[in-house]
Structure 1
Amino acid sequence: MNPDLAADIQSIQSIGAVPTILEAIATMTGLGFVCIARVTENSWTTCAVLDKLNFGLKVGDPLDVTTTLCEAVRDTRTAIIIDEVRSDPVYRDHHTPRLYGFQSYFSIPLFRPDGAYFGTLCGLDPKEARLSEKTTVDSMTLFAQLISLQLENERSLEETRSALMDEREAAVLREKFIAVLGHDLRNPLGSILMGTDLLMTQTLAPKSQTVVERIRRSAQRIATLVDDVVDFTRGQMGGGIALRLEHETRLAAAFEQVIAELRSTYPERNIEADLSACPVLLCDAQRMAQMLSNLLKNALVHGDVSQPVKVGSNFRDHIFSLSVSNGGEPIAASKISQLFKPFWRETGERAQDGLGLGLFIVAEIAQAHGGTIDVRSDAEATVFTYSVKAAS
């Protein structure tokens, strides 16, 4: 593979938000295939792909550019959006829809920050879809702008990724992206979850039951991302994390529920928990559970899979502490201060789940409760500890 092309693919793969963007577009539009492609005068190559149609394309796979509509997008630098090929006056007789068997399609140009053409954000489906509605077009365009902006940062400014939020243009685009993800996706997500709830009450074949459960888990995962970015938006606007404080007598039960859910999600992992030292605490139990969930997910994703993840509690001298620890490679001291910054990822880190907001939300919840988060990382373990003084 051409080294420049390989570098372009790696640039897209290194953008942590790309998998979430593709999933969000697929959920928003109903399309089964969404991808980012590098398009040149002579080539079309996938850089990132979400394929629910078994279309067969993987990262690095090429297509003959002359068989694609992305060639026209490259030449005109304008988007192509088709709701239904069979009724489209321009493309109903075009060879590309017949070749690839789609009815709905979009292709939006991607540019490097210097204006050079990179490729397209595109998607298709054999079923028709209402892609040309203004809200949908605006949302997809914002996603394309976010990817375009990130290209240069991933290629030439990786060492300053943690300072990305200080860039005015980046901040504006991120806020727009957050507004789209945090608001425009809530209604379709609610519909998906209500639909799966209804289907779960029906008598379904085992295969159908599995599909419905997978849809519900995916929708819940996206809903969690939406919650994170809404919390982030509140923090950026000066509102902080919203709390509903009560004297909570069943905090341990809330924590146990989080642990049970993640044991189900990560059945191959060993999670050890000791929550015997949870006092009556003036807190928002839902936010505390969210904090533990984020810390525990972080440990499961980044910890050594062969070692257990441990959750512990302690209450001494009116100080309550909750700790989450995992084995594995220690975190460099120079990076610990970066962990709680929004959207921060270690250079070269591939996307896992989420947008890099989990630990930022943890820090915000801790601060809102008047508590602190400390991190200790050495060859023995990496330990995140939340501490707060219990009200008298």
Structure 2
Amino acid sequence: MFENAPCALLSLDARGYIVRTNRALTAWTGYAPETIAGKRFLELLSVSGRIFHETHFVPLLRMHGSADEIALDLVRADGTHLPVLVNAVEERDGAGELCSIRVAIFKATERRRYERELVAAQSEARMLQGQLEIANVALERKLGEERDLGRLREEFIAVLGHDLRNPLASTRSGARLLAREVSSERATVILTHMEASTVRMSALIDNVLDFARGRLGGGITLDLAASQPLEPVLRQVVDELRYGTGREILTDFALTEPVACDHQRIAQLVSNLLGNALTHGAEDQPISMTARTDSGVLSISVANGGTPISPSAMEHLFQPFFRGGIQPSKQGLGLGLHIASEIAKAHRGTLVAQSSSSETRFTFSMPLTDIGAEEHDG
């Protein structure tokens, strides 16, 4: 068993000289048995192994009487090193005097390779982590710069939209005054188109301002008014679009209960829905609009015929700047439906869309409770 053991076995005397060894050690190291016998175990070790032997291995044996899994390097006859793990135990006589030391040696080549690869991998991981941290810092800095630039753009858009309102209002007023004085049919047509363009430009500017305000943190603001009737405001929106486009817009109003809402915001919502219907609906079919109060709920819907909205476009319909599936001639910023949905949310309401081959319908619903009172109570 000693000679044919799968590990190297040694018996040392009290001074550390080799008294006996087995075939495994001679096969691993290339030394002849007679060459190894009489050597000190220390002589078979590398320089670093000898230092470790004297500073750790021997003191550990003396203190505990045994040592397990000590990593050392044996020096073969050809001068190459063999990584090994060493287990040792002392044997003492009845008086406690050290008699011998029994040593078992196991090859550790694969284990050492694994440990080296593990250390190398850990070192590479630390290096990559450092590079990642540097990249994250650079990315955060870049994102901060992009956020600042984006905020600057939005502030610029907000200022620009605000400053465009005054000259646009003057243009619109001038067109209306001229329409009362001209008698030429051609001039009347031109002024009608100018009026429609100014109405559309005004709606676009309102949408841009509201979007910029929302992005800058202000959100959609409400100016609630319950005492004023809502129907005249809605009729004015319909009349302006009907006059400006010449399209047929059918209305059905049944507003029998007071509505606590921001009348101008609701008018803006309806204007956006009607503008969307006029832009994308079939030109040979009328637009229909209903507004009614029933069971404590205000419901406004706008419907048009034409090509239905695809399911893929329906998923992104209320996102800003979405203009999927429209003809190039149907120009717009893609903000109208987004602003309309934000106005609905500000009123604690909903805006939903349904589209089929027969019609496309947008429906806004909101409760008729006092929003301002509830916000104050909250």
Indicate the SS of the match to 1:185: helix
Aligned pair 1:243/2:200, yes or no? no
Instruction: Check whether the contact 1:252–1:278 (CA below 8 A) recurs between aligned residues.
Output: no
Instruction: Check whether the contact 1:278–1:313 (CA below 8 A) recurs between aligned residues.
Output: no
Question: How far is 1:220 from its partner?
Answer: 3.6
The C-alpha deviation readout for 1:43-70, integer Å capped at 9, x for no partner, is xxxxxxxxxxxxxxxxxxxxxxxxxxxx
Q: Percent identity over the alignment? A: 43
Indicate the SS of the match to 2:260: strand
Question: In structure 2, how many angstroms separate the alpha carbons of the residues matched to 1:198 and 1:259?
Answer: 21
Instruction: Check whether the contact 1:320–1:388 (CA below 8 A) recurs between aligned residues.
Output: yes
Question: In structure 1, how many angstroms separate the alpha carbons of the residues matched to 2:351 and 2:365?
Answer: 7
Question: In structure 1, how many angstroms separate the alpha carbons of the residues matched to 2:192 and 2:212?
Answer: 30
| Residue type of the alignment partner of 1:225 | L
Alignment of 1:1-392 (within 5 A): 171=150, 175=154, 178-179=157-158, 181-196=160-175, 199=178, 211-212=190-191, 214-267=193-246, 269-347=247-325, 349-391=327-369
Question: How far is 1:299 from its partner?
Answer: 1.2
Of stretches 314-323 and 284-293 in structure 1, the one that deviates more from structure 2 is 314-323
Unpaired runs of 5+ residues, structure 1, are: 1-166
Unpaired runs of 5+ residues, structure 2, are: 1-145, 371-378
Distance 1:278 1:252, change over 3 A: farther
Question: In structure 1, how many angstroms separate the alpha carbons of the residues matched to 2:254 and 2:332?
Answer: 31
| Residue type of the alignment partner of 1:256 | R
Question: How far is 1:204 from its partner?
Answer: 6.8
Question: In structure 1, how many angstroms separate the alpha carbons of the residues matched to 2:305 and 2:187?
Answer: 39
Question: In structure 1, how many angstroms separate the alpha carbons of the residues matched to 2:239 and 2:360?
Answer: 22
Instruction: Check whether the contact 2:151–2:216 (CA below 8 A) recurs between aligned residues.
Output: no
Question: In structure 1, how many angstroms separate the alpha carbons of the residues matched to 2:286 and 2:185?
Answer: 33
Question: How far is 1:194 from its partner?
Answer: 4.9
Distance 1:214 1:377, change over 3 A: closer
Task: Output the TM-score relative to the length of structure 1.
Answer: 0.51
Question: In structure 2, how many angstroms separate the alpha carbons of the residues matched to 1:391 and 1:247?
Answer: 10
| Residue type of the alignment partner of 1:289 | A
Instruction: Check whether the contact 1:295–1:359 (CA below 8 A) recurs between aligned residues.
Output: yes
Distance 1:203 1:379, change over 3 A: closer
Task: Output the TM-score relative to the length of structure 2.
Answer: 0.52
Question: How far is 1:201 from its partner?
Answer: 6.4
| Residue type of the alignment partner of 2:347 | H
Question: How far is 1:187 from its partner?
Answer: 4.1
Higher RCO by CA contacts (8 Å cutoff, separation 6 or greater): 1
| Residue type of the alignment partner of 2:208 | V
Indicate the SS of the match to 1:305: coil
Question: In structure 2, how many angstroms separate the alpha carbons of the residues matched to 1:203 and 1:314?
Answer: 40
Indicate the SS of the match to 1:238: coil
The C-alpha deviation readout for 1:244-279, integer Å capped at 9, x for no partner, is 101145212221222222222232x33221112452
Question: In structure 1, how many angstroms separate the alpha carbons of the residues matched to 2:157 and 2:219?
Answer: 16
Aligned twin of 2:22: none
Question: In structure 1, how many angstroms separate the alpha carbons of the residues matched to 2:287 and 2:365?
Answer: 19
Question: In structure 2, how many angstroms separate the alpha carbons of the residues matched to 1:254 and 1:179?
Answer: 26
Distance 1:329 1:367, change over 3 A: same
| Residue type of the alignment partner of 1:239 | G
Pairwise CA RMSD: 2.9
Question: In structure 2, how many angstroms separate the alpha carbons of the residues matched to 1:306 and 1:199?
Answer: 31
Instruction: Check whether the contact 2:352–2:362 (CA below 8 A) recurs between aligned residues.
Output: yes
Distance 1:170 1:376, change over 3 A: farther
Instruction: Check whether the contact 1:319–1:389 (CA below 8 A) recurs between aligned residues.
Output: yes
How many residues are matched?
Answer: 225
Instruction: Check whether the contact 2:349–2:365 (CA below 8 A) recurs between aligned residues.
Output: yes
Instruction: Check whether the contact 1:181–1:229 (CA below 8 A) recurs between aligned residues.
Output: no
| Residue type of the alignment partner of 2:301 | S
| Residue type of the alignment partner of 2:222 | L
Distance 1:223 1:261, change over 3 A: closer
Of stretches 174-183 and 296-305 in structure 1, the one that deviates more from structure 2 is 174-183
Question: How far is 1:347 from its partner?
Answer: 4.8
The C-alpha deviation readout for 1:83-134, integer Å capped at 9, x for no partner, is xxxxxxxxxxxxxxxxxxxxxxxxxxxxxxxxxxxxxxxxxxxxxxxxxxxx
Question: In structure 1, how many angstroms separate the alpha carbons of the residues matched to 2:227 and 2:315?
Answer: 31
Question: How far is 1:281 from its partner?
Answer: 0.5
